[in-house]
Amino acid sequence: MVSFDGLMESKRVILGLGLGQFVSLLITSTGFSSSELSRRGIAVPTSQSFLNYVLLAIVYGGYMIYRRRPLQMKWYYYLILGLVDVEANFLVVKAYQYTPLTSVMLLDCWSIPSVIFLTWMFLKTKYRFRKFAGIAICVTGLVLVVFSDVHAGDRAGGSNPVKGDMLVLAGATLYAVSNVSEEFLVKNGDRVEVMGMLGLFGAVVGACQISIFERNALKSIHWTAGAVLPFLGYAIAMFMFYSTVPVLLKLSGSTMLNLSLLTSDMWAVLIRIFAYHEKVDWIYFVAFAAVGVGLVIYSGGKNEDNTGTLMGEGGGNIEGKERDEEAPQDRLAEISNSCGNSSSRDGKGHYYSLVSEER
Q: Per residue in 192-232, pLDDT tens? A: 999 999 999 999 999 999 999 999 999 999 889 988 999 99
Residue 277 counted as domain residue: no
Q: What is the pLDDT of residues 314-338, one digit of tens each?
A: 333 333 334 444 444 444 444 444 4
Query: Residue 18's domain spans which residues?
Result: 4-128+159-264
Find the mean pLDDT for residues 262-291: 74
Residue 325 counted as domain residue: no
Residue 292 counted as domain residue: no
Is the pLDDT assigned to residue 352 strictly greater than 70?
no
More confident residue, 326 or 98: 98
Residue 33 counted as domain residue: yes
**Region class of 124: left (phi > 0), else alpha (psi between -120 and 50), else beta:** left
Q: What is the pLDDT of residues 170-187, one digit of tens each?
A: 998 999 999 899 888 988
- Domain total in the chain: 1
CB 184, CB 198: distance < 8 Å: no
Residue 248 counted as domain residue: yes
More confident residue, 217 or 283: 217
Residue 311 counted as domain residue: no
Residue 293 counted as domain residue: no
Quote the pLDDT of residue 152: 59
pLDDT range class, residue 106, cuts 50, 70, 90: low
Find the mean pLDDT for residues 243-262: 82
Residue 274 counted as domain residue: no
